Structure formats: structure tokens, C-alpha cells
Chain A
């Protein structure tokens, strides 16, 4: 009796989860299906997911040529990789000092970290933009990276983690003659690797998606990041050519989604870890 009812419970649960999964995947199904359809069919064909006539080549070649798609994806990759690199480079020594060393101004510095956790880029974009304008930095790849080289969130996260590293380990390294900077890169970094990779995932997802700052600081097509590139594509596309638009969305969504599908555990653990510590 009990086993029968648990079976029914499980069936019900799987049905709810399955239905929900279909709802979640619904946009992805239509995105891919529509990217295969000719324009006439998009307007008329109704709910069929399988095209009657295939327009893969027409749609995808429009998506590849109307905007410099590969360049845009490369920009996204370069910008995200540079941001993560500099964020870790600057955050780790600072986090180590905040966690393990006593120095003058430590409280003030930690106050700045908390200020940074509060104030998002959107709120300070006006002075950043004005400064970049006068410095002639607008419309460069550098301006897409520079404002994000400082991540107070990374400092906060790494500080929490480094606090759990035993002092003995650091003392031993000092006895071995390592400088404080060497301790950061040779002792702390290898130990903090799980935190660092979790943060890297979080940061890449955030900056791969960011539209606000690129929209403000870059207006040239060849410097566009994926979200901005798609906005340019939409602007260049006068009518409702949804087939080509969906082909562009497939190409632009694919890299991060594929990365996720190959490294699901890393992604979910990364996002959870950074989420819960934040």
C-alpha cells in the first residue's frame, strides 16, 4: 500500500517536473525551429516545430554576415576573459590582506568594499562615461574591461574563504622565506582555486549578459559584445525577419549554453557558491 502510493507520488512529481521542463524549454524549441524556417512560414505555419521548407542556409548566412558575428563572439570572449583575469589579479592580494594581515586603514578599506557591494555600475555610469569621454577611451575594447577590473564582490568572497585557511600554513610559508606576495600566488591561489573558479563562472555569466555599459561606451559594430551586437542586428533588420533573428540568437546564445552543458556541475556549484556567499 505504501509503496503503491509512493509510486503514484513519484509519477505525479515527474509529471509536474516534466510539464514545467517543457515550459522552460519552450522558448529554446521555438528559437531553434524558427531559425530553420523561411519568412513566409514564420508568418503562417502555426505551431509546427518542423519546417515544411528549410531556410537554414539563408537564415544563418544572414545572421553571420549582417553583423560580424565571429568578431562579436570573439569580443565577448576577450572582454569576459580579461575582466575575470584582472578581477582575480586585483582581488586576491587585497582579500588576503583583509583576511590575514593587520594594517592601518583596514577598516576604511573594508568600508569601501561594502560601498562597492551596494553601488552598481549603473549608478556611477555617468562620471565613468564622462571621464572615459575626455580620456578618449570611448569605443575601445579597453573601456569595456576597465570599469570591471575591480570586483569588490570577489574581494568579499575570497576574504570569506581565505579566513578559513589555517594560519599555520601561512606561518610555515613565511618560515620558508616566502614573501607575502609569493604567499598569495603560491599558497593562497591554489587553495582558493574552487572559490576562484566559482567566481569566474559567476563573473562570465554576468559580463557576457551585460548590455548597459557596452550600450553606453561603445557605438562601433566591430567592438560590440554579444548583447550589443544583437541589438545592432535588430536595428539593421527592418521588417519582421524572425528566421534570421532567431538564427542570430542561436549563434549568440550557443557558446555559453554549450559551455554550461559540458560543465554543468561547475556552473551550478559556482553560481550557488557565489550566490549564497554574496
Chain B
């Protein structure tokens, strides 16, 4: 062990004193529970029963053949695949439009941000009414244009897109303000320089200046959107409970059901470990991409 500069005794003691309460909390609320989830995932533990047997990795191989869990896995990714591109692209477009505005900028920014601060469970209930198959305003609107009513949340074909619409509506405003912050960080002179270099249209200046300069912001917005979408729970719990016929069964809903409704905490822990691995992979992809990215600033 080589240390470049020795730790002063005073500083060491002060540091340990300051972090001690928080460190204790970290062990109790984070480290031990995480280890416990892993340990439980190797057993067939059930809540309320005192005996359990050690199964090793059996729970994991069982998950691979558990049709409901695979369904939940697939549904979560379909949901993420619907929500992320739409909310990132729309968030960027809105940010560009609002950035170009002068007087109305604050007004539009607040309007688009409003869904972010509205209670998810409450707004899910509103969407349920809006999407009601017979008297929901959305279908009534569609009827005006001669489009037949759609059974949004009650049909297994439509339920994921319907939940995705709610998810997109919620995520756009947050993505927009993140992009707006990214846009203000771009040096104005770059646009003038690009124009001199022949980027005459706003469209070409976007691709020459804005898009590359926004790279880190875009990557970050994509990551945060994907991670939030993977954690979809509130709308499912409020509106569909995984139905109809498991068509909206998603990862967190499966963990919740398995652990807290069926009380199979061994299996639920294995699912939770899979969930952590999914998040880890997403973060590793982000870090890898961030390292590859050319930094202009």
C-alpha cells in the first residue's frame, strides 16, 4: 500500500465522526437488504413460514421457464420501447421550439411541465376516464372523425400502447426542461460560425451544431427515461393490475405480486435480483457510451 499523502489524525477522526450516522444507515437500509435479497433468492422462503430450504440458483433457472415472468420482462421492454423514443424526441422538439420563442417561453415551459408535478395515480384515474370504451372523451373525439371506438385499457392488444401514451404524456415535460438546460449551454457563436461555413438553413445548423453539442444531454435524457420506464408501476397498479390476461404484467408488478400478494419471497427476491441486473446493464451501457463520446466543451 502506498499513499501519496498521509491522512492527518484530526481529519481522519473528523471524517469518520461525520459519516458515522450515515454509514450506519447505509449498512442497515442498503447494504444488508441488498445482501439479504441475494441470499433469499437462493431459497424457497415464504413469508410467514419459518422453514426454508437452500435451492442455489434454482429460482433463477425456474424464472427462465416462468411464462408469466418472461411475459413481464417482454412487456416491460415493449413499454420502454414505446415510451422512450417518443418522449425523448418530442421532448427535444418542444425544447427547440420553446428555445426559439421569446415572450411565450415561460408559459409553454410551465404548461408542458405540469404533468410532471401532477400525482401519477390521480392522473392515471383521469386517463382511465378519458380512455373509457363507451363514454371516454378520446373515443368520442375519434368518433367525430368516423373512427370506431377503441377499447384502450381493456383489450390485451391495446393496453401497453394505452399505458405508454400515459407514460409519454408524463415524461415529455421533464425531458423538455433537461433539453432546455442543455441548449442554454451551447455557445451562440458556434451557430454564427456554422453559418459562415455554409450551414445556411436552421435544419443544417441543427445537425452541425445543436445535435453534436447536445450529445451528453441526449444520452443522459435517454438513460433517465429508460430507467424511469423500466420502473413503471403506478399506472399498472391503478388501472390494469397486470391485466387483461397478463397483457400489462410488468417487472415491478410481478415482484410486488409474487412477494407481497403470493408471499413467495424467495422467488420475488430472484426477480428483484434480475431487476437490479437490468438496471446495472443500462447504467453500464450509459457509462460506456459516455466514455466513447467526443467532448466538445
Interface residues of A (CB under 8 A from B): 13-14, 16-17, 20-21, 24-28, 30-31, 34, 42-44, 46-47, 90-91, 93-94, 96-98, 101-106, 109, 112-113, 115-116, 118-120, 122-130, 146-147, 149-150, 152, 155, 179-181, 184, 205, 208-209, 211-212, 215-216, 226-227, 230-231, 234, 240, 242, 245-246, 248-249, 252-253, 256-257, 259-261, 264, 267-268, 271-272, 275-276, 278
Contact = CB atoms under 8 A, between A and B. Distances in A.
A126 B40 contact: yes
A44 B134 CA distance: 10
B121 interface: yes
Interface in B141-175: 141, 169, 172-174
Contacts of A180: 14, 17-18
A230 B122 contact: yes
B119 A212 contact: no
Contacts of B181: 272, 275-276
Interface stretch (B24-32, B53-61, B74-82): B24-32
B119 A231 contact: no
Nearest to B279: A118
On chain B, which size bracket covers the interface? Answer: 35 or more
A26 B130 CA distance: 9
B279 A230 contact: no
B7 to A, nearest CB: 5
23 contacts: A24-B114, A24-B173, A94-B23, A96-B18, A97-B18, A101-B18, A116-B30, A119-B279, A124-B272, A127-B33, A129-B259, A147-B29, A152-B30, A184-B18, A209-B119, A209-B121, A211-B238, A226-B122, A230-B119, A242-B129, A267-B113, A272-B180, A272-B181
A124 B125 contact: no
Q: Which of A130, A184, A261 has the most CB of B within 10 A?
A: A130
A127 B37 CA distance: 7
B64 interface: no
Interface in B257-295: 259-260, 265, 268-269, 272-273, 275-276, 279-280, 283
B18 A119 contact: no
Interface of B: 5, 7-8, 11-19, 21-23, 25-26, 29-34, 36-37, 40, 47, 94, 97-98, 100-101, 104, 106, 108-123, 125-127, 129-130, 132, 135, 137, 140-141, 169, 172-174, 177-178, 180-182, 217, 220, 224, 231, 233-234, 237-238, 252, 255-256, 259-260, 265, 268-269, 272-273, 275-276, 279-280, 283
B29 A150 contact: yes
Nearest to A252: B122
B97 A13 contact: yes
A177 to B, nearest CB: 13
A96 B16 CA distance: 11
A26 B138 CA distance: 10
Contacts of A14: 101, 104
B242 to A, nearest CB: 14
Nearest to B265: A126
Nearest to B216: A276
